[in-house]
Structure 1
Amino acid sequence: MEDDFGKALRQTAELMDRELREFLPDNNGLEKQLYNAMRYSVLSGGKRLRAFLVIQAADLFGVPRLHSTRVASALEIIHSYSLIHDDLPCMDDDDLRRGIPTVHKEFDEATAVLAGDALQSLAFEIIGDAKTHSSAEVRVQLVSKLAYAIGVRGMVGGQTMDIYAEGDDIDIVTITRLQQLKTGALITFACEAGAILGHASPPQQQALKAYAHDLGLAFQIADDILDTEGSAEELGKATGKDDAAGKATFVSLMGLDEAKIHARMLVDQAIEHLEPFGPKADLLRHAARFAIERRN
């Protein structure tokens, strides 16, 4: 029987698919190739965990789903843009994503670059729209936080570190910072966005930010573990590429058993940060456990 968390996560994924289709209509003009590539990337499935975090964090403060769903959609669109660019030959050079060809393989490299660019712009268009929130101040905060999360002090900065750092130069402190930027920044934004929408108090905002910080690291360690133990069939993409390339990971630096222990410790910490919210945060607690128990 599906548990409450599994049901809520599935319902979020179904909601996102409906909403995202509305933001990405069919187009038969000269831009058709671009629209097809955008839809191909965004609507190719995925757990929608980042969207789930936005909605659940906002639910803590009674935010109408109309608002949180739009922000969640924008974040999923940003995530899709990042995956398109991450898979390019000049980046990680991956042929598969979620069990299907990556965008540059299904279309071409130029279309992949443009699709990523267009998705990034679309996300900010959605957040900046008055439909997302009646308060211009709230929208500005969301735009500012998202721009920070995906920029040089966030996701793009982390990707740059990942490209140029040599395996021998990486220690546990460096890889922790790298992954806080590359992976953790969007997860942190997801939780902060819910707090911003809900006009949360500073202590409440800090609690959610601390939760997201630990969750993001645990999520990345779990990814490294899956890359070691999982199969390409389970993950829908090639495995073992970092190890083959001599790139440092949490597993290579800590060892498999220690990495698992550290991930569990981070999840326990993440859950502790949610104490001020009581039972209302139970689905977020389950999300933290899911981060290290998932198989893809």
Structure 2
Amino acid sequence: MTISDAAFESRLKESAAATQTMLLTLLSDAVLPDELARPERLMAAMRHGSLNGGKRLRPFLVRESALLLGGDDDAALRVGTALECLHCYSLIHDDLPAMDDDDTRRGQPTVHKAFDYATAILAGDSLLTYAFDIIAAPETQLPDRAKTELVLALARAAGAGGMAGGQALDLAAETSPPDEAGIRMLQAMKTGALIRFGCEAGAIIAGASAHDRQTLRLFGQKIGLAFQLADDLLDLTADAATMGKATGKDAARGKGTLVGLHGIDWAEKHLDELTAEAVELLAPYGEKAMMLQATARFVANRQN
């Protein structure tokens, strides 16, 4: 028994709408206790970089992983929104001329194009910091131990040993193409780390066992690799209008990818294998895991 595509898409859209609503609330101009002011232009740039649509896959993973293990959905929504703030910071900074130098994101001008370079940097900095604020805030009703574990896990996933380090490796790859092991490490850090956290966070929110937490972590690692592999395939096969951003840039810059290394046929086969492995990991949870299993298939089969 599996979830239909329509049922999955409906659930994903509902979660994205809930995340959007939470972002609108959190990124309002209302000053919080111990804040002095919220500069108008900075807040506008933060909203431009985070309220521009998208599937909100990472918050969805937090909520569905928490639901699988009996965690509180209100807390999961806030933690998922924190993760989305951090993800959006990374996109704002990645789009800068010193990084990937992109002019469009999700079909609209990137933050540094809509505003300016300095404002884009500050908007990213603010969203990054705000992610940890959201988790630690009293409105996120979780035990202090859970909040500490979430902050630590997110910091490790986002920092020098995770996403930011992966971006550093990605920049280095332009002048010194990595071997297959290097490509896998780069992708596991730059893309996979936040997806892995999204799954593991649900277990932390639910106060689940070490075994459950490790299972969700492994599931996140599998679909994180699948997400990047699908992205690399789309970079070669999809057009910019479909993707909402420029395509073919990795190949133009000489960056190594697993698709470039092994070819499209191998990549599609490996993508199927990763999806099957991810689905099988959650088989012991029975019907409760069907939505997350559908997510693994969605990651592999998405068109943008």
Q: TM-score scaled to structure 2, two decimals?
A: 0.94
| Contact 2:78-2:134 within 8 A present in 1 as well | yes
Within 5 Å, give how 1:1-296 maps onto structure 2: 3-26=6-29, 31-166=39-174, 169-296=177-304
What's the RMSD between the two structures over aligned residues?
Answer: 1.5
> Are the counterparts in 2 of residues 72 and 190 from structure 1 also a CA contact under 8 Å?
yes
Stretches of structure 1 that go unaligned for 5 or more consecutive residues are: none
Q: Distance in 2 between matches of 1:138 and 1:284?
A: 22
Matched-pair contact (CA < 8 Å) for 2:103–2:113: yes
Quote the offset at 1:131 in angstroms.
2.2
Matching residue's letter, 2:24: R
Q: How many residue pairs end up in the alignment? A: 296
**Cα distance per residue 1:143-202 (max 9 Å; x no partner):** 000100100110001000011125654121111111000000000110111000111111
C-alpha change, 1:245 and 1:24, in structure 2 (3 Å) is: same
Query: Once superposed, which parts of structure 1, at least 4 consecutive aligned residues long, lie more than 2 Å away?
Result: 26-30, 165-169
Moved more, 124-133 or 172-181: 124-133
8 A Cα contact 1:167 1:248, kept in partner: no
| Residues 31-73 of structure 1: CA deviation (Å, up to 9, x unaligned) | 1110000001110000101011000000012222111000011
The share of aligned pairs that are identical, in percent, is 48
- In the TM superposition, residue 26 of structure 1 has moved relative to its aligned partner by 3.5
Looking at structure 2, the residues matched to 132 and 121 of structure 1 have their Cα atoms a distance apart, in angstroms, of: 16
CA contact (8 A) 2:71 2:207 kept: no
Equivalent residues of 2:174, 2:253 under 8 A apart = no
Query: Residues 166 and 187 of structure 2 are in contact (CA less than 8 Å); yes or no, is this contact kept in structure 1?
Result: yes
CA shift at 1:30, angstroms?
A: 7.5
How far off its partner does 1:245 sit?
1.0
Q: Once the 2 structures are TM-superposed, how far is the Cα of residue 209 of structure 1 from its aligned partner?
A: 0.8
- Taking structure 1 as the reference length, the TM-score comes to 0.97
Matched to 1:24, the amino acid is: L
